[in-house]
């Protein structure tokens, strides 16, 4: 990330900025090159002396922090809040947090969520799916076990009295998905 210093928005002392002699303050040079007898090529290029800015400054007048570049690299930590229910590919936008330069509007930083597979759960939309094998005895007489939810809570999963579970049956727990 780059930050500009308000006192040195010109990269040094404001009165020390002079028009570039190489491009006469335009920031571009016209280069003429002969290609062959009677044929020339005319090109417009960025001025190498002032790097296309049209002005130059003596080294002694340049800002000590930015060395005349008008910006100083600095690290900024952006905290990303991932809301419950967000899914793979969702985007979180930080407006105006991109690289910053004087007289230029900064861009945006966009974080794209990448969902990793979980060791225990599989996601299906807003639902979390846990595959658990139970024995024949548990299917006929009932079962009870605990699972640790993604937010750290421990959930007790128990069969309903008198219900016999068949292969492929699904037991749901209301409001414990990702939404």
Please name which of 63, 54, 49, 60 lies closest in space to residue 4, comparing C-alpha atoms: 63
Question: Per-residue pLDDT for 111 more than 70?
Answer: yes
Q: What is the pLDDT of residues 145-167, one digit of tens each?
A: 998 888 888 888 898 888 898 88
Task: Name the helix (H) or strand (E) containing 138.
Answer: helix 136-141
Confidence class for position 15, pLDDT limits 50, 70, 90 = low
Question: Per-residue pLDDT for 91 more than 70?
Answer: yes
Q: What is the pLDDT of residues 49-86, one digit of tens each?
A: 887 777 777 777 677 777 667 777 778 888 998 887 78
CATH 3.40.50.1220 describes domain 120-179: no
Question: What is the pLDDT of the chain when averaged over all its residues?
Answer: 81
| Whole-number pLDDT of residue 11 | 60
Q: Hey, where are the domains in the chain?
A: 2-81, 120-179
- C-alpha 166/C-alpha 162 separation (Å) is 13
Confidence class for position 3, pLDDT limits 50, 70, 90 = very low
Neighbours of 123 (CB within 10 A): 15
Confidence class for position 92, pLDDT limits 50, 70, 90 = very high
Please name which of 3, 7, 1 lies closest in space to residue 63, comparing C-alpha atoms: 7
Confidence class for position 114, pLDDT limits 50, 70, 90 = very high
Neighbours of 23 (CB within 10 A): 22
| Whole-number pLDDT of residue 16 | 67
- State which CATH number among 3.40.449.10, 2.10.230.10, 2.60.40.10, 3.50.50.60 fits the domain covering 2-81: 2.10.230.10
What is the average per-residue pLDDT within 14-27? 77
């Amino acid at each position: 990330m780059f930050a500009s210093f308000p006192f040195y928005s010109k990269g040094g002392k404001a009165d020390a900025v002079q028009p570039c002699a190489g491009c006469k303050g335009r920031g571009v040079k016209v280069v003429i090159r002969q290609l062959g007898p009677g044929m020339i090529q005319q090109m417009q290029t960025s001025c190498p002396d002032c790097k296309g800015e049209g002005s130059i400054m003596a080294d002694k007048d340049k800002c000590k922090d930015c060395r005349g570049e008008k910006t100083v690299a600095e690290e900024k930590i952006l905290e990303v809040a991932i809301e419950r229910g967000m899914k793979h590919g969702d985007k979180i936008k930080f407006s105006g947090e991109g690289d910053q330069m004087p007289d230029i509007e900064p861009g945006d930083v966009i974080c794209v969520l990448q969902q990793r597979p979980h060791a225990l759960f599989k996601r299906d939309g807003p639902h979390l799916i846990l595959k658990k094998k139970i024995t024949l005895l548990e299917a006929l007489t009932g079962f009870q076990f605990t699972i640790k939810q993604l937010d750290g809570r421990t959930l007790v999963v128990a069969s309903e009295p008198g219900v016999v579970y068949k292969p492929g049956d699904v037991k749901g727990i209301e409001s414990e998905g990702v939404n």
